[in-house]
A and B are shown apart, each in its own frame.
Chain A
Amino acid sequence: NAGVTQTPKFRVLKTGQSMTLLCAQDMNHEYMYWYRQDPGMGLRLIHYSVGEGTTAKGEVPDGYNVSRLKKQNFLLGLESAAPSQTSVYFCASRPGLAGGREQFFGPGTRLTVL
């Protein structure tokens, strides 16, 4: 049981490039989340999903898109990367309404945009 995994762990992009971050969970969780973590700002929610085929905007969605085509995967895309998107990105998941209360986090992806 790998829990929540994220690919890649590190990435350096040039301004304007695009990329996709992959989050995978093997716990059959319904809900999945993408956060960014910046110094002094805690974790801020980018997008989330409450089930396969659904997505919703969080606190800071601009510049990002997401897709949840399969229940176990939640993809975060940057269409045209900007230096302001330099951050550490965390994916998290949790069971549905009948499940537990807390989120389970992946190990994070450190993204640098030059």
Chain B
Amino acid sequence: AQTVTQSQPEMSVQEAETVTLSCTYDTSESDYYLFWYKQPPSRQMILVIRQEAYKQQNATENRFSVNFQKAAKSFSLKISDSQLGDAAMYFCAYRSAENSGTYKYIFGTGTRLKVLA
């Protein structure tokens, strides 16, 4: 069975600085998807970025980028130019490919990010 591990329960970053959140996963599959979700105090889960395992290029969305290391089964999130609005809980998630017949998403336990003014 697949697992997702976020080893940093809490991180802090100074406003305008860069921070990296770690995520590792375990799977025997070769094709899958990885996601980072943000959960602000409002509780609403918001997709930050996603990565398809078959793509070698790291995904980027504005100030958010990932470092996807398939062989190491690592999927870290880098937030550049941190803003106060980035303060939230961040969840890493895994999903098998469409042809696996598995429809489930596996979530990590989350990392709470604090942004210091």
Contact = CB atoms under 8 A, between A and B. Distances in A.
Interface stretch (B42-50, B63-71, B73-81): B42-50
Interface of B: 6, 9, 33, 35, 37, 42-45, 47, 50, 52, 91, 95, 98, 103-105, 107-110
A42 B91 contact: yes
Given A31-B103, A48-B103, A101-B52, A42 B45 contact: no
Contacts, number: 43
A88 B45 CA distance: 12
Contact count band on A: 20 to 34
A43 B95 contact: no
B104 A90 contact: no
Interface of A: 31, 33, 35, 40-45, 48, 50, 56, 58, 88, 90, 92, 97, 101-103, 105, 107-108
Contacts of B50: 101-102
Contacts of B98: 97
A48 B104 contact: yes
A85 B98 CA distance: 32
Contacts of B35: 101-102
B99 to A, nearest CB: 9
B108 A105 contact: no
6 contacts: A43-B91, A43-B107, A45-B105, A56-B103, A102-B35, A102-B50
Given A41-B109, A43-B91, A102-B50, A90 B45 contact: yes
Contacts of A50: 103
B105 A105 contact: no
B109 A42 contact: yes
Q: Which of B35, B45, B95, B108 has the most CB of A within 10 A?
A: B45
B98 to A, nearest CB: 5
Contacts of A103: 105
Contacts of B43: 88, 107-108
